[in-house]
Every structure is written in C-alpha cells, then in structure tokens.
C-alpha cells in the first residue's frame, strides 16, 4: 500500500497533468483561431498525452490501494502574444512538470517506495522527450522565419503528427 504522503503527492500530480492537458487544449484553440491547423493538431496530441499521463498516475494510485482525490484546476491561459510565445509557454510548462516529477521521485526515495521509483523513472525519461519535442518545434519555427510560406510549411509538417500509443507500464 502506498503511504499517505505519496498518495497525496500523486493526487496533486494528477491535477498537474490535467492542468497541462487543459493548457495544451487552450493552445490548440488559439492555433485554430489563427488558422494554423497543424500547430493546433500538434497541441491536441499534447493534450492527449497529458491526459494519458494523468490516467497513468490515476491507475497507479488505485493499483497500490491508494485513493484518488481530484482537486480543481485553474483556468488555462487563453491569449498568446504570438506562435512563438505560446510554444515558449509550453516549454516552460514542461520544465515545471519535470521539476515536479523529480520532486515526486525524491519523496518516493525518502519513503523507500521502490515501486513508485520505477513508475517515476518512466516519467523522468518521458519528460526528457517532452522537453525535446517542444524545443524542436521552437527551433523549427525560428528556422522557418515564423511567417509567410515558412510558417505554412511548418504548419503542414505539424499537421502530420499522429498520436502514438502509450507503452504499457509494469
Ligand atoms: Mg505530462
């Protein structure tokens, strides 16, 4: 059984993942509003990934005979100054989430909860990938010049992103 301290920490993280999902869906809405459906598609897939992360923690807490208690999530940002500003906020969000996952790993070490450490190792690796994927788009936006034909070509490229099934966890 999971300790109550870790149970509470995982419950907080479920809300954090749901808040991330909400933020990315809000970014998808922004990109739709400025007629960049490829960027919107990319953010929509981010939204799905964050929902999957939330559910991974949800399932884990239940598997360990914990109790999932959901809290509230705050309103996402709805207005962005530019395409680049939205992407930068996405990167900052992922960096924040990485720090949260690291903190969870620290708590699970203090609690000597080895099973939770194994779960969190998956998330630590995932965060490396999350930070890289948004950084790639930021770099490509810069290379494209961020407007005109370059921006439309990048939008087409991002339209091709498909969601990948989550690998099973042990
Ligand atoms: Mg996540």
Identify the residue with better confidence: 85 or 163.
Answer: 85
| Spacing, Cα 10 to ligand 1 middle (Å) | 13
| Spacing, Cα 52 to ligand 1 middle (Å) | 8
Q: What is the 3-state secondary structure (H, E, C) of the chain?
A: CCCHHHHHHHHHHHHHHHHHHHHHHHHHHHHHHCCCHHHHHHHHHHHHHHHHHHHHHHHHHHHCCCCCCCCCCCCCCCCCCCHHHHHHHHHHHHHHHHHHHHHHHHHHHHCCCHHHHHHHHHHHHHHHHHHHHHHHHHHHHHHHCCCHHHHHHHHHHHHCCCCCCCCCCC
Q: Is the pLDDT of residue 86 over 80?
A: yes
| Spacing, Cα 14 to ligand 1 middle (Å) | 9
Please give the average per-residue pLDDT across 99-108, as a whole number: 98
Please give the average per-residue pLDDT across 14-32, as a whole number: 98
Q: Is the pLDDT of residue 164 over 90?
A: no
Q: Is the pLDDT of residue 104 over 90?
A: yes
CB 104 within 8 A of CB 127: no
Tokens linked to 107: 């708590």
Query: Sign of torsion, CA 37 41 47 51?
Result: positive
| Spacing, Cα 122 to ligand 1 middle (Å) | 11
| Spacing, Cα 60 to ligand 1 middle (Å) | 15
Tokens linked to 5: 């301290």
% of the chain beyond a pLDDT of 90: 95
| Spacing, Cα 149 to ligand 1 middle (Å) | 32
Q: What would the CATH number be for the domain defined by 4-71+81-159?
A: 1.20.1260.10
User: What is the distance between the alpha carbons of residues 79 and 110, in angstroms, rounded to a whole number?
Assistant: 40
Q: What pLDDT score does 20 carry?
A: 98
Q: What pLDDT score does 170 carry?
A: 47
Please give the average per-residue pLDDT across 117-140, as a whole number: 98
Mean pLDDT computed over every residue of the chain: 96
pTM: 0.94
pLDDT, tens digit, for every residue of 134-158?
Answer: 999 999 999 999 999 999 999 999 9
| Spacing, Cα 154 to ligand 1 middle (Å) | 24
| Spacing, Cα 148 to ligand 1 middle (Å) | 32
| Spacing, Cα 62 to ligand 1 middle (Å) | 19
Where exactly are the structural domains of the chain? 4-71+81-159
pLDDT band at 169 (very low <50, low <70, confident <90, very high): low
Q: What pLDDT score does 163 carry?
A: 86
User: What is the distance between the alpha carbons of residues 16 and 136, in angstroms, rounded to a whole number?
Assistant: 23
pLDDT, tens digit, for every residue of 28-54?
Answer: 999 999 999 999 999 999 999 999 999
């Amino acid at each position: 059984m999971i300790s109550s301290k870790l149970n509470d920490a995982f419950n907080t993280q479920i809300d954090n993942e749901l808040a991330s999902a909400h933020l990315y869906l809000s970014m998808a809405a922004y990109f739709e509003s400025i007629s960049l459906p490829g960027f919107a598609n990319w953010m929509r897939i981010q939204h799905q990934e964050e929902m999957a992360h939330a559910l991974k923690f949800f399932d884990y807490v239940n598997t360990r005979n914990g109790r999932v208690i959901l809290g509230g999530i705050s309103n996402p940002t709805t207005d962005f100054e530019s395409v680049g500003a939205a992407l930068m906020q996405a990167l900052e969000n992922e960096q924040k989430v990485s720090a949260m996952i690291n903190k969870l790993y620290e708590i699970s070490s203090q609690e000597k909860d080895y099973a939770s450490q194994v779960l969190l190792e998956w998330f630590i690796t995932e965060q490396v990938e999350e930070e890289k994927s948004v950084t790639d788009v930021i770099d490509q936006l810069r290379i494209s010049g961020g407007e005109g034909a370059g921006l439309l070509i990048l939008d087409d490229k991002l339209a091709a992103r498909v969601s990948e099934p989550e690998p099973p966890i042990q």
